Structure 1
Amino acid sequence: MSDVLPNYPIDRDTVNRKLKWLMSIRLLFALLLMGSTIAYQIGNQVYTFEAPVTFLYGLSGTILFLSAVYGVLQPTVKRHQLLFIYGQITIDALCISLIVFVTGGYASVFSFLYIVVVIYSSVFVFRRGSLLVALFCSVQFAVLLILELNGTIDPAGFGGTIAGATPTGIQVFQKSAILTAACFSVAFLSGYLSDQERRSKVELAAMEAHLDRVQNLAQIGEMAAGLAHEIKNPLASLSGAIQILKGEMENDRDNMRLMHIVLRETDRLSSLVNNFLTFARPVAGQSQFVNLGDALNEIVTLFEKDDSVDQRVKTDLDIASDAIIEIDPLQLHQVVWNLLLNAAESISGEGTIRISIQKHNNDRVKVEIADDGYGMDAQTIKSIFNPFFTTKPKGSGLGLSIVYRILETYDCRMDVQSKPGAGSIFSMYFKMIDPATIA
């Protein structure tokens, strides 16, 4: 869908459930319309099929038929779901115009149904889309009244009952303005509430994912700490013994070459164990009050001069909020550098990394690191913080795990949004420090 909050995922199961609900309501409305027409005929002893009666039967039958078509198409519509929704809204609005026309035009009591369409549209297309629907409904009603005023159409000829004479231009303008104001007011309010509901659901889902991830990493960390210590001690003894043997084999070239290989691999294994220990039990840093904007400026400046960038990747730093946070500057550097490096490695050829700082709410500041690289699918996103999971040929799979564990020690949450071919966005939510509390 295009009308979505930036970077927020679409819950298609929820949308499909709401679509089924809408189609059920529409089906009920068509049955009520048909039943009302039958009741009108019986109550007024009208047993002939006059034009308005025939028209209402045809309209209710058409709505029933369309409901059946929607029900058949709905499970198969995936890629063009937004067009499918807008198509239903458009047809519903046109049907409302026909109902208003056949029940008297200006004198019709069914103009409120436009507002119903605006309300339910906000559930699917949110505030921006519901404002467009409000405009569409208002224009339809205004055109209908103008055509009636000019005598182009005659709703009274279809059973309408205009109170008194033909409405004047001022009356048409007033009624059209009232409906327009009502539609836009309802669109704004219902769209706002719908957007707020969606934001709340996204925030709740992100917090649940964060808690699940923290619990899993904590369990893995406990096991990893003991395992890493058990490996590190004999590894140190093994490395020392090889160093001694190396000194006794300086004249044996073949064995020296093998010793160099063993020492190199021992050092690599030792580095891996150290990283694993860092993941399992991150060392508590020397926390300081840090100006986040200044710190990111410094890190980005150093990163731009790094060989990994190689002048093929541009960085764009946008500081909308100059916040103070409490963190170890070295660990902040490690976290941001790792994310910048991953972003650069995800870009094939030339690209851009965008770093932004903006206030999230009263006590949090959000740092976003976005790239236009190859992106990730949903399954990869679920696994990237697991230790030893990597998509790189030579990666250890501990980089992002360590980053997450470091951020966790500072009560900082991290979210990821990504799509294959559309890049990735890593968002960190740091706790802000009130400058007034700093001595």
Structure 2
Amino acid sequence: MDSPDFLFRRIRELYRQIKWVVLARAVFALILIFSTLFFSDTDLTGQRDQSFLSLYKISGTILGLSLVYFAWLCKKKYLYALAYTQILIDTVIVTAIVFVTGCFHSIFTFLYLLVIIYAAMLLLVQGSFAVALASSIQYGFLIELEYLKIIIPLPENPDLALVVDQHHILYRIVITVSACFATAALSGILSLQLKTARKDLKIAQEHLKRVEKMAAVDEIVSGIAHEIKNPLASLSGSIQMLREEMAPTGESDKLMQIILRETERLKQIATDIRLISKPGRTNAELIDLAKAIDDVKTLFDNTPDWYARINIVTRLERDLYINMDAVHLQQILWNLIKNAAESIEGKGKIKISLYSPRHKRIYLTIQDTGLGIDKKNAPHIFDPFFTTKGDGTGLGLSIIHRIVDAYEGMIDFESIPGKGTVFTLIFQNPNFKE
């Protein structure tokens, strides 16, 4: 299952992969030219020598196409169209190479498999199967046309109908087609695994950097929060006693209410600061993640500030559990969904996905169609006290990060300014057994 990553990262990766494929294709063309030059005769009058001449032409075509692909790549537009175009043309080129080197007797049939493999690298499973189908159709027709004498390969080979029977032809085609689709399946699976592994590695690296950055101030911040909390409690108690004794009215009572309200706000901030340092796992229990998400979604859908303009769509794999304090999990889900909703101007959508492709790890993604995160702010969104909201404390995401880390999980995000943000959380699956 594909995670709902944003396209910009995939496009950047696709650009880099296509660049290497174009380079590899040009190198292959040069190797084909020099190897053909080495093994060919100097006299190009014989039939077999015509096949070498055709290989020169094919090699030149490959080099020319590589230049065209490179020019297209430099524009950085329609990269998926470029990928499909060059791959499908490569299947035709491989068919031409097989034709000029003996059709049924050609040793270059394996080139179809190479095209399928790099198609999986660029376009994953769907692309590899599309190329496998195109290769199978071309090879099957090529061999059948040779057998029926509709086309004659350039090298002087015995009449194929006299050498092998129809059953042998069918057997060769079936084996080749099977090899193509088997290669497509295996390379597609490996490409998906590689993609997931790269994403996990990137998330782990970014998460570790943030943990190291936050660890340096945890103890100091926790100590300060502890020292602040005691005077605040005394201040709050004193104000309440004064209200009871003086029974203030009018402006005095209004001022005391403001003092009490802001005192409670400061106490909550101090509590949040201590939570950043020491989230605690004493109340951890096995929680059904899908049910917890459904509960928070129900709560959100019944909140007047959001339900009229925000549509939450869920795609949840069931029977996935995590060991966590239920309050901590609700805090994570509610804050991330609330942040997503606040980033959306007018009507919008939030997509929540829960899945476990390899069962060892559980992936939770929350994707919105909001304003996104500015590039200059992106490195700091998990920093304590960093906020872009006028009334924010800058502790929400810091707390989420510390809670997730306390349960040996990881969190990361990707964002396109003006289009939206996706937060990805990775948890260990307690039910997974090696």
Q: Shorter-chain-normalised TM-score: which range?
A: 0.7 to 0.9
- Residues 1:57 and 2:53 are matched in the alignment: no
- Residue 76 of structure 2 is matched in structure 1 by 78
| Aligned CA-pair RMSD | 3.8
Give a deviation string over 1:146-174, Cα, whole Å, max 9, x none. 4334444332xx34423565676545433
Secondary structure (helix, strand or coil) at the match of 1:42 reads: coil
- Residue 22 of structure 1 is matched in structure 2 by 21
Trace 1:11-50 onto structure 2 (pairs within 5 A): 15=14, 18-42=17-41, 45-46=43-44
More moved, 50-59 vs 184-193: 50-59
- Residue 332 of structure 1 is matched in structure 2 by 329
Asked whether the equivalents of residues 127 and 191 of structure 1 are also in contact (C-alpha less than 8 Å), the reply is yes
Q: In the superposition, relative to structure 1, how do residues 429 and 195 fare at CA in structure 2: closer, same or farther (>3 Å)?
A: closer
Given candidates 3, 7, 10, the residue that maps to 1:6 is 3
Trace 1:9-408 onto structure 2 (pairs within 5 A): 10=9, 15=14, 18-42=17-41, 45-46=43-44, 51-74=50-73, 76-155=74-153, 158-162=154-158, 165=161, 169-229=166-226, 231-232=228-229, 265=262, 267-282=264-279, 286-316=283-313, 320-359=317-356, 361-362=358-359, 364-376=361-373, 380-408=377-405
Secondary structure (helix, strand or coil) at the match of 2:411 reads: strand
Aligned residue type for 2:406: T
Aligned residue type for 2:207: H
- When normalised by structure 2's length, the TM-score is 0.81
Asked whether the equivalents of residues 147 and 161 of structure 2 are also in contact (C-alpha less than 8 Å), the reply is no
Structure 1 spans left out of the alignment, 5+ residues? none
Secondary structure (helix, strand or coil) at the match of 2:41 reads: helix
Shift of 1:189: 1.5
Q: In the superposition, relative to structure 1, how do residues 162 and 92 fare at CA in structure 2: closer, same or farther (>3 Å)?
A: farther
Partner Cα separation in structure 1 for residue 65 and residue 316 of structure 2? 51
Partner Cα separation in structure 2 for residue 355 and residue 15 of structure 1? 26
Secondary structure (helix, strand or coil) at the match of 1:326 reads: strand
Shift of 1:97: 1.7
Secondary structure (helix, strand or coil) at the match of 2:303 reads: coil
More moved, 18-27 vs 399-408: 18-27
Higher relative contact order, chain-length normalized (CA < 8 Å, sep 6+): 2
Trace 1:407-426 onto structure 2 (pairs within 5 A): 407-420=404-417, 423-426=420-423
Residues paired across the two proteins, number = 427
Q: In the superposition, relative to structure 1, how do residues 116 and 360 fare at CA in structure 2: closer, same or farther (>3 Å)?
A: closer
Q: In the superposition, relative to structure 1, how do residues 373 and 146 fare at CA in structure 2: closer, same or farther (>3 Å)?
A: same
Structure 2 spans left out of the alignment, 5+ residues? none
Asked whether the equivalents of residues 411 and 424 of structure 2 are also in contact (C-alpha less than 8 Å), the reply is yes
Partner Cα separation in structure 2 for residue 334 and residue 235 of structure 1? 25
Aligned residue type for 1:161: N
Give a deviation string over 1:274-325, Cα, whole Å, max 9, x none. 4333323335653344444544444333333223324333445555333454
Aligned residue type for 1:189: L
